[in-house]
Amino acid sequence: MLNVFLKIMNFILLLLSVFLMGIALPNELLTFGSWPLGMIALTPLYLALVLTKRRWGKAVLFGLWVAAVHIVSSFWLANFRDFAVFTIGASSIAYFLLVLPFGAFFHETIVFANKDKKYLRPIAFAVIWVFWEWFKSNGFLAYPWGTVFMTTYSCKLLTQIVDITGVWGISFLIALFAGFLGEFILLLRDTERAVFLRTAKPVFRLGCFIIFLFAVVLSYGFFRLNEDVTPSKTLKTAIIQPYNDSWDYSDIDGTLTFGINLTDDLLKHNDDKPDLIVWSENSLVYSYPLSMDYYILNPEVRPFRKMLIENQTPILAGSPLPFANEDGTDDKNYQFFTNSVCLIGSNGDILDSYSKIQLVPFAEYMPFVQYKFVRNLFRKLVGFSSGFLPGKNYNAIDIKNSENENIRFIAPICFEDAFASLCATLHNTNKSELIINLTDDSWSNTKSAEYQHFVVAHFRSIELRTTMIRSTNAGYSCVIDPWGNVIGDLPLFCSGGLFFEVPIYPHRQTIYSKYKDWFPLLCVGLLFLFAVSNTRFGCKVLRKNAKVK
């Protein structure tokens, strides 16, 4: 009977944690979520894991939590039409399975700490949590959404630490605090004064250590937010947000005409001439280099090429680029493409381009789709086989401003701005001074999807201490300064334009941009040492050392 009660209680704790996390993340009710709720959202989960006795009970509990939070916070993935079976269905199952070993490993740390070191349990929980979120945010199936660091957007004092530790430092602090709070709640069960005093001291010492950590992090945040840094250049930018139906290709001419009219209207109502016009991802549906004649003559009312010549301003726009079929493909007659952005000069020539490296799995990219038999297999299984191939070059793009100063920027496409290590590699390799992201999230039809993407992306500005421009189809189009503040924006789900003199700061190599994911790798190393020390060989070595002492 007692076991049934514990299982019911643990399930209630699980649901409570999922609810708190769902509200703490950016959602339909709280635009940017709630960092105070984010600080305690993991505590019920921690309690449920500690109170669950069996290894695989913990694993399943952790798996259910991850899958439930994924569904609650990313429910809008179901709007990805034909791909919804992958984006929300298969991904939920995948994350449930992938997290099982992490829950099982936490059981081992609890067994070890239960002996006489219960104060280590919150630390172990925080280390494992960082490892999980880092694991979830990297690789082919990477998806950095539903992560606890996303809850802290509104707490600027806390988020400044990411230029040292990346977002993983925030995840560690929140998980550590949640674990400590859980241990404090568990202490209240000890009614005997002697038992309480004996067990409380190490927990309170841990609490003091956590207070010290937060004091250091918040002090660092205060220092960064008040530093005096002056922009070295500016880039007059015209950001165009068309708000087109990204699924509707029935009137490509009409869609292109609308974008041209928005651009002309924005430029007409501003006295200054922009240095750059920025459209959104896939705004040029037909591959620009392969369809040059189309863009010279169309739309008939005002051809795209004519707009470029008359405005005398280069444009950065999304367009598929042909992929060299001789590289790793077995079908020379099948034309592959990359999801790319092109810098197109006022004469209509492509000045430079960047091709997306991190593609959306099973939506933009099918594994091994460059081979004909794989395409045939996907076509039979799910009814489609087309997609992009990933780009290969970590290149930047150069542009001149009105002062004839060169500005080098990187252009991560769509959700590439959510991948810290990728952006750091682009930033360091090219010594970039600006990030320009072209995105189309309009298919989500929810403001929470737009703001979640923005929140994940804005950490790149802080990590690299670099201004970011986000130009989207439906939102959230904005300019973000190197401290994570929005200094210019457009409302969601409406057509419009933003003319903004974007501040450009000198290239900086932060600790994070230089060493990238050093913090989660440190956590992995600590877990590895723990695993080795708890093997038979490790235990023998420890006992031998103890005898020598």
318-332 per-position pLDDT tens digit: 999 998 655 555 555
296 in the same domain as 182: no
243 in the same domain as 210: no
240 in the same domain as 217: no
275 in Cβ contact with 401 (< 8 Å): yes
Average pLDDT over every residue of 407-418: 96
Q: What pLDDT score does 79 carry?
A: 82
Question: Residue 492: which CATH number?
Answer: 3.60.110.10
The more confident residue out of 475 and 356 is 356
Active site includes 356?
yes
* pLDDT at residue 272 tops 80: yes
pLDDT in tens, 344-381: 999 999 999 999 999 887 677 766 666 666 666 666 65
Q: What pLDDT score does 541 carry?
A: 42
- Please name the residues in contact with 104: beta carbons below 8 A apart, sequence gap of 6 or more: 55, 56, 58, 59
Q: Cα–Cα–Cα angle for 29, 153, 206, nearest 5°? A: 110
* pLDDT at residue 549 tops 50: no
3-state secondary structure of 264: helix
Is residue 544 in some structural domain? no
248, HSE (Cβ side, Cα atoms, 13 Å): 10
Which position has the token pair 């999922």? 18
pLDDT bracket for residue 335 (50, 70, 90): confident
* pLDDT at residue 165 tops 90: yes
Q: Cα–Cα–Cα angle for 48, 52, 53, nearest 5°? A: 160
Q: What pLDDT score does 334 carry?
A: 66
Is residue 522 in some structural domain? no
346 in the same domain as 294: yes
Name the active-site residue from 183, 281, 433, 463: 281
Is residue 329 in some structural domain? yes
Name the active-site residue from 58, 118, 342, 414: 414
247 in the same domain as 144: no
Is residue 405 in some structural domain? yes
Quick one: what percent of the chain has pLDDT higher than 90? Answer: 69
Which position has the token pair 């099918």? 366
Q: What pLDDT score does 432 carry?
A: 96
Which position has the token pair 């950065």? 316
409 in Cβ contact with 351 (< 8 Å): no
- Integer-rounded Cα radius of gyration of the chain: 26
Q: Which of 176, 199, 227 is the last residue of a domain?
A: 227
Q: What is the DSSP letter of 85?
A: I
102 in Cβ contact with 131 (< 8 Å): yes
270 in the same domain as 333: yes
289 in the same domain as 169: no
* pLDDT at residue 123 tops 50: yes
Is residue 521 in some structural domain? no
213 in the same domain as 166: yes
Name the active-site residue from 58, 136, 356, 447: 356
- Tell me the residue range of the domain where 343 lies: 233-509
Task: Specify which residues 338 forms β-bridges with.
Answer: 321
Distance CA 52, CA 123 (A): 18
- For the ranges 194-198, 410-414, 514-518, the lowest mean pLDDT is seen at 194-198
398 in the same domain as 505: yes
The more confident residue out of 371 and 176 is 176
Average pLDDT, the chain: 88
Q: What pLDDT score does 108 carry?
A: 80
Is residue 128 in some structural domain? yes
Q: What pLDDT score does 542 carry?
A: 43
Distance CA 305, CA 292 (A): 9
Q: Answer whether the bond into residue 299 is a cis peptide, omega within 30°.
A: yes
DSSP letters for 447-501? HHHHHHHHHHHHHHHHHHT-EEEEEESSS--EEE-TTS-EEEE--SSS-EEEEEE
The structural domain count of the chain equals 2
* pLDDT at residue 62 tops 60: yes
241 in the same domain as 221: no
298 in the same domain as 206: no
- For the ranges 1-15, 398-412, 508-522, the lowest mean pLDDT is seen at 1-15
Q: What pLDDT score does 283 carry?
A: 94
175 in the same domain as 248: no
Q: Which of 207, 227, 247 is the last residue of a domain?
A: 227
Q: Which of 227, 246, 269 is the last residue of a domain?
A: 227
Q: What pLDDT score does 376 carry?
A: 66
Fill in the amino acid letter for 521. Answer: L
pLDDT in tens, 133-160: 999 999 888 899 999 999 999 999 999 9
pLDDT bracket for residue 437 (50, 70, 90): very high
Which position has the token pair 């006295």? 271
388, HSE (Cβ side, Cα atoms, 13 Å): 22
Active site includes 281?
yes
Give φ, ψ of 437 to 5 degrees: -110, 125
Q: What pLDDT score does 537 carry?
A: 42
Distance CA 447, CA 25 (A): 13
Q: What pLDDT score does 250 carry?
A: 85
Q: What pLDDT score does 366 carry?
A: 66
Active site includes 414?
yes
Task: Specify which residues 409 forms β-bridges with.
Answer: 397, 434
* pLDDT at residue 311 tops 70: yes
Q: What pLDDT score does 85 carry?
A: 62
- Which one, of 24, 150, 31, lies nearest residue 475 by Cα? 31
Q: What is the DSSP letter of 413?
A: B
Q: Rounded to the nearest 10 degrees, what angle do helices 2-24 and 55-73 cross at?
A: 30
pTM of the model: 0.91
Distance CA 70, CA 88 (A): 8
* pLDDT at residue 166 tops 80: yes
Average pLDDT over every residue of 224-237: 96
Is residue 269 in some structural domain? yes
Exposed, middle or buried: residue 332 (CB in 10 Å: 0-12, 13-18, 19+)? exposed
Is residue 106 in some structural domain? yes
pLDDT bracket for residue 191 (50, 70, 90): low
Distance CA 419, CA 487 (A): 23
Distance CA 262, CA 252 (A): 16
